[in-house]
């Protein structure tokens, strides 16, 4: 199971939630403020955060926005003692996967956590692939990038050579280098990869 983080300014809530999840054989880490959570947890990793909406300082909604702004793969579940439908809709629109009222229903939380685990792992894997692709693209020289762009436009080597005012053999070498660096076997794979990066 991925890490589960509880953020609530009420120690009793942290204790009771931690105890409930412990009974489900799920280990948790509790934090009494958004700041202590952010200073201790790497939000670029997969995880599940259960956030209290109303906290002094940075509240749960501000923390949710911070996590989402940093493109974190984490799944977020919001928690409140004074929930309204408008508040629930607002947090879900801002990227929370669900909204729970205190006292928390253990069965509902268990189902939510199973769903949250799948979502955060999928998000993390997708982000890792995108980061890897970005690294590959960044490894290309400016000339290799030019060649790749024209290859993706469907241009022949001799046309690219004429456009860039170099020999066709040079283009063939650049093209080969692009395929190696991007770890693809043909133009179709390259086009698919670049299309995925823009989704």
CATH number of the domain where residue 68 is located: 3.40.50.2300
Strands (DSSP E) along 106-180, which ranges? none
Tell me the pLDDT of the chain (199 aa) as tens digits. Answer: 589 999 999 999 999 999 999 988 888 999 999 999 999 999 999 999 999 998 999 999 999 999 999 989 999 999 988 767 787 788 888 899 998 888 888 889 999 999 999 999 999 998 888 888 889 999 999 999 999 999 999 999 999 999 999 999 999 999 999 999 999 999 999 998 888 777 6
Helix axes 106-138, 168-182, angle to 10 degrees: 160
Question: In terms of domains, do 116 and 166 share one?
Answer: no
Considering the chain, what is the average pLDDT of its residues?
Answer: 91
Residue-level pLDDT at 145:
95
- The answer to whether the pTM exceeds 0.95 is no
Question: In terms of domains, do 116 and 148 share one?
Answer: no
Domain extent, residue 153, equals 139-197
Tell me how far CA of residue 15 lies from CA of 10, 21, 74, 108, in angstroms. Answer: 9, 10, 22, 18
Strand partners, 150: none
Question: In terms of domains, do 56 and 101 share one?
Answer: yes
Residue-level pLDDT at 89:
80
Question: In terms of domains, do 92 and 153 share one?
Answer: no
Residue-level pLDDT at 24:
85
Question: In terms of domains, do 115 and 69 share one?
Answer: yes
Tell me how far CA of residue 11 lies from CA of 6, 8, 117, 127, 192, in angstroms. Answer: 10, 7, 25, 34, 50
Residue-level pLDDT at 118:
95
Residue-level pLDDT at 102:
86
Residue-level pLDDT at 169:
94
Residue-level pLDDT at 83:
66
* 113 contact partners, CB below 8 Å, separation of at least 6: 4, 21, 24, 26, 48, 77
Question: In terms of domains, do 86 and 126 share one?
Answer: yes
Question: In terms of domains, do 18 and 112 share one?
Answer: yes
Q: Using CB atoms within 10 A of its CB, is residue 87 exposed (0-12), middle (13-18) or buried (19+)?
A: middle
Question: In terms of domains, do 94 and 12 share one?
Answer: yes
Contact 74, 47 (CB under 8 A): yes
Question: In terms of domains, do 178 and 160 share one?
Answer: yes
Question: In terms of domains, do 81 and 155 share one?
Answer: no
Count of alpha carbons within 13 angstroms of residue 179, beta-carbon side: 13
Question: In terms of domains, do 42 and 66 share one?
Answer: yes
Q: Which of 78, 77, 79, 86 is nearest to 102 (CA)?
A: 79
Provide the number of structural domains found in the chain.
2
Question: In terms of domains, do 95 and 157 share one?
Answer: no
Residue-level pLDDT at 154:
93
3-state secondary structure (DSSP) of residue 75: strand
3-state secondary structure (DSSP) of residue 10: coil
Phi-psi region of 183 (alpha: psi -120 to 50; beta: other; left: phi over 0): left
SS3 content of the chain, % helix, strand, coil (to 5): 60, 10, 30
Residue-level pLDDT at 187:
92
Question: CATH number, domain at 173?
Answer: 1.10.10.10
């Amino acid at each position: 199971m991925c890490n589960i983080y509880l953020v609530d300014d009420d120690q009793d809530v942290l204790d009771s939630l931690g105890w409930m999840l412990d009974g489900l054989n799920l280990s948790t880490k509790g934090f009494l403020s958004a700041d202590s959570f952010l200073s201790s947890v790497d939000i670029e990793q997969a995880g599940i955060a259960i956030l209290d909406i109303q906290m002094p300082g940075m509240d749960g909604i501000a923390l949710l926005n911070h996590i989402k702004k940093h493109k974190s793969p984490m799944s977020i579940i919001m928690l409140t003692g004074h929930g309204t439908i408008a508040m629930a809709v607002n947090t879900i629109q801002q990227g929370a996967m669900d909204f729970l009222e205190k006292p928390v229903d253990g069965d509902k939380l268990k189902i939510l956590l199973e769903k949250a685990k799948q979502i955060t792992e999928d998000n993390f894997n997708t982000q890792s692939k995108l980061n890897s692709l970005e690294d590959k693209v960044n490894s290309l020289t400016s000339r290799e990038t030019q060649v790749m762009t024209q290859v993706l436009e469907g241009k022949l080597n001799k046309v690219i050579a004429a456009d860039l005012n170099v020999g066709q053999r040079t283009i063939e070498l650049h093209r080969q280098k692009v395929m190696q660096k991007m770890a693809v076997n043909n133009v179709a794979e390259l086009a698919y990869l670049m299309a995925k990066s823009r989704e």
